[in-house]
Structure 1
Amino acid sequence: MITFDRTDQSIFGRWWWTVDRWQLGAVALLMFLGTVLITAASPPVAERIGIQDTFYFVERHVMMLIPAIIIMVGVSLLSPRGVRRVALGVFLISVVLVYATLVVGVEIKGARRWIHIPGLSIQPSEFVKPAFAVVAAWLFSLSRTNPGFPGALVSMALYGITMAGLILQPDLGMTFVVSAVWFTQFFLAGLNLVLVMGLGGLGVVGLVGAYYTLPHVTSRINRFLDPHAGDNYQVNRSLEAFANGGLMGTGPGQGTVKFYLPDSHADFIFAVAGEELGLIFCLGLVVLFAFVVLRGFARVFNDNNYFVLLAAAGLLIQFGLQAAINMGSSLHLMPTKGMTLPFISYGGSSLLALGFGMGMVLALTRKRFGPAE
């Protein structure tokens, strides 16, 4: 076991005694539970789609989990200034790639969200999500510390550019999450309340417009409001899984929903957990996600740096909202949306982006004994 003395002044020594080890441990536990659940849920999926290697998805998940951990730890070593610079670089590259998907992206289920390179598929919007939260926080904080700098206007312009790319793909789920985080940061920044309300109104108009102009959005909302309005196969199987699991579950590996749900290793992995491990485990998982978010807020609210507060708040809200959307969709509490359960679901770009986002959270919530830069 690696240990560091309090007098150790090496990079990792200082990191170990300043990082939030409770939050780091909670994230590590989520990663471990995700690996266990994917091991249980993915073999039937591999068999169903004709992959000879039963543990193909498990191996791929672990292969992506290792660089995600490296990214998380590496980014968590940065100062707030370093976080800003890295986030800006990632944001600019990711936005360019989002628009590139419209030209060279591969169309899957009517959407162009992925760029395929040999051996890997990249979803650029996953990286836009955490990077934009930090860039927006930076701009909002500059508006406060430098009254002559039009940080809010620049943030609005970048928001518009980002949203246009996501809507054109189209990716309404990602658009909603990025918008919800940005609006929250806008509000926390203490900017003009009338402008906040006006932007909120535009958001509502956008959702209504999406309902009437995008057939897949119309279908999902209609099926949520009226179960008989269309095919609710995945949701119905998911609800059956929770009912079968009961309080304690059927036992690890004993569930059946993974043999029927196409996305049991990804979007509906929470249903596999509900069937095999039961209600108590699922509630524990909810508590674990809540702990990561609330622990982060508890740490950052003690910081006097405005940028750190806004950036960490945006990243934590994003993390919690993504978890809530995934679990809510599995329980039919909201329309279904293809969004992974953080560190639990199978995913490549999602896992790397989550490692990047959580690395920034750990960096921003580290103890500092001087002014944050």
Structure 2
Amino acid sequence: MEKFKFLRGDKTIWAMIALLAIASFLPVYSASTNLVYTVSEGKASTLGFLVKHLAHISIGLLIVFIAHKFHYERYKKFSLLGMPLVILLLAYTLSQGKVIGGANASRWIEIPFIGFSFQTSTFASTILMVYVARTLAKMHNTSYTFQESLLKLWFPVGAVLIFILPSNFSTAALIFVMVCMLVYVGQYPLKYLGYIFGLALIGISLFVLLYMAFPTNKYFSRVSTWKARVERFSTDKPDEDDYQIEKAKIAIASGKIQGLGPGKSVQKNFLPQSSSDFIFAIIVEEYGMIGGYALVFIYMILFFRFLVRSNKAPTLFGKLLIVGLGFPIIFQAFINMGVAVELLPVTGQPLPLISSGGTSIWMTCLSLGIILSVTKKEDEIAADLLEEKQREEALQRLVEREVTIMNEEGVDVNQQKMEEMKYSIREELSKDEGDSLYNGQNPMNSVKNKE
């Protein structure tokens, strides 16, 4: 364990993240045969999709590592600054008016010059949960009216949900349920929460009425899709089952106990979204009930660790962060599995850290990184602060030594010049391998040479 001492926080959560990341490669690689012909029309290869998934996972693990190095209290400020950005991104995403098959599909934005798609609702849900946790922690042990909480807490939540709802009802519903669960944990008055449920019901009713008045409007076109999915789910007639569900059930039934074996899935060639929304069906087909239950077991371990660590969190904000960011990951996983076995209607929710897709993986990793930041023990936090202090002291000694030499040479060095020297040294250290401040090298030499 000594070689992993740079990984702070709950080691069990780290292990489950690694297991899920490793377990995702074979199913994604196997299911990508369908993408080669349906998405790229034979122009790409399964190896290309595997490399792409490897890049997504690698960036995701880097996000976990960077996020867990920050003290979790810093995320209060990040969420406060991020909320206006999130609302603007969601408004821009919805305004694109992208339509697929007659339905509103404004869920992604294209990043210029690199041709990369980014799903803003996934990013928004992570930032929103941190913001809600911050607001609840701030309002705790203070008296406030419903109107005050409406402005501070629910107005930003409502703004996010309004921009997500027209194109992605399942994500909007999941966010709302998770926020309600979070405010309940944060001891928000139940009477006020009842008012919120009433307002939400009025809002949904108004949305449906607008759809009935303007059924051809692109912003309400998804309502017919939601209605059709619920009707197909509620009926017992076999000929009205959804095509995707039919193929998923065939895949699961084919897997039996031990599965057909890695890469031997048949339904991946017929099942749409086999590498993302319905990847659980492919996993069961290839690895059987053993593989399916093993995956459920990993998510349950994560859920158990979230429960334990939320109870041990040093502050209310830390507790709410774990609940608000951790529980949605587990709920999303079981929603994905529930859809595959027809316990739930089709929702389009990916399987966390397993399904292909950059945005989903990265935002899940960001949430896990923040959770790991909360789970760091006091001695680990102290070690991080001590390391930062030692680096700053070593940097200060280095600059003072160089200033002394420069003064002896007749060069006038003021405070601004010292800060510029510190900045230059930090830049040079970020390029060096190892720690030049500790291993005896003098990064000031590189700075001088560069000048």
Q: TM-score, normalized by length of structure 2?
A: 0.75
Measure, in 2, the Cα distance between the counterparts of 1:105 and 1:359. 34
1:177 counterpart residue number: 174
2:292 aligned with 1:282 = yes
Query: Of the candidates 137, 144, 156, which is equivalent to residue 158 of structure 1?
Result: 156
- Indicate the larger mover: 292-301 or 235-244: 292-301
Distance 1:348 1:227, change over 3 A: farther
**C-alpha deviations, 1:251-309, integer Å up to 9, x for none?**
11111010001210110000000111001110110110111121022012012411111
Could you tell me which amino acid in structure 2 is paired with residue 44 of structure 1? N
Could you tell me which amino acid in structure 1 is paired with residue 169 of structure 2? L
1:224 counterpart residue number: 233
Distance 1:362 1:204, change over 3 A: same
Question: Per-residue deviation at 1:102?
Answer: 2.1
Distance 1:35 1:111, change over 3 A: same
RMSD: 2.4
Structure showing greater relative contact order (alpha-carbon pairs closer than 8 Å, 6 or more residues apart) = 1
* Structure 2, unaligned runs of 5 or more: 212-222, 383-451
Alignment of 1:343-358 (within 5 A): 343-358=353-368
Query: Of the candidates 247, 251, 255, which is equivalent to residue 237 of structure 1?
Result: 247
Q: Is the 8 A contact 1:247 1:279 kept in 2?
A: yes
Distance 1:211 1:367, change over 3 A: farther
2:104 counterpart residue number: 110
2:135 aligned with 1:135 = no
Alignment of 1:196-345 (within 5 A): 196-204=193-201, 213=211, 214-228=223-237, 230=240, 232-345=242-355
**C-alpha deviations, 1:23-49, integer Å up to 9, x for none?**
111011101111221011112321234
1:8 counterpart residue number: none
1:98 counterpart residue number: 90
- Indicate the larger mover: 48-57 or 132-141: 48-57
**C-alpha deviations, 1:154-185, integer Å up to 9, x for none?**
111111111111123x2111101110111011
Q: Is the 8 A contact 1:35 1:58 kept in 2?
A: yes
2:3 aligned with 1:3 = yes
- Indicate the larger mover: 98-107 or 154-163: 98-107
Question: Per-residue deviation at 1:93?
Answer: 2.0
1:123 counterpart residue number: 119
Measure, in 1, the Cα distance between the counterparts of 2:366 and 2:206. 33
* Structure 1, unaligned runs of 5 or more: 6-11
Question: Per-residue deviation at 1:124?
Answer: 0.8
Measure, in 1, the Cα distance between the counterparts of 2:313 and 2:365. 23
Q: Is the 8 A contact 1:343 1:354 kept in 2?
A: yes
Question: Per-residue deviation at 1:340?
Answer: 0.6
Question: Per-residue deviation at 1:88?
Answer: 3.4
Give the number of aligned pairs. Answer: 361
Could you tell me which amino acid in structure 2 is paired with residue 94 of structure 1? V
Question: Per-residue deviation at 1:189?
Answer: 1.7
Distance 1:211 1:61, change over 3 A: farther
2:173 aligned with 1:167 = no
2:12 counterpart residue number: 22
Local SS of the residue matching 1:336: coil
Question: Per-residue deviation at 1:2?
Answer: 7.5
Measure, in 1, the Cα distance between the counterparts of 2:160 and 2:176. 10
Could you tell me which amino acid in structure 1 is paired with residue 106 of structure 2? R
1:36 counterpart residue number: 26
Could you tell me which amino acid in structure 2 is paired with residue 241 of structure 1? A
Q: TM-score, normalized by length of structure 1?
A: 0.90
Measure, in 2, the Cα distance between the counterparts of 1:231 and 1:240. 12
Q: Is the 8 A contact 1:20 1:362 kept in 2?
A: yes
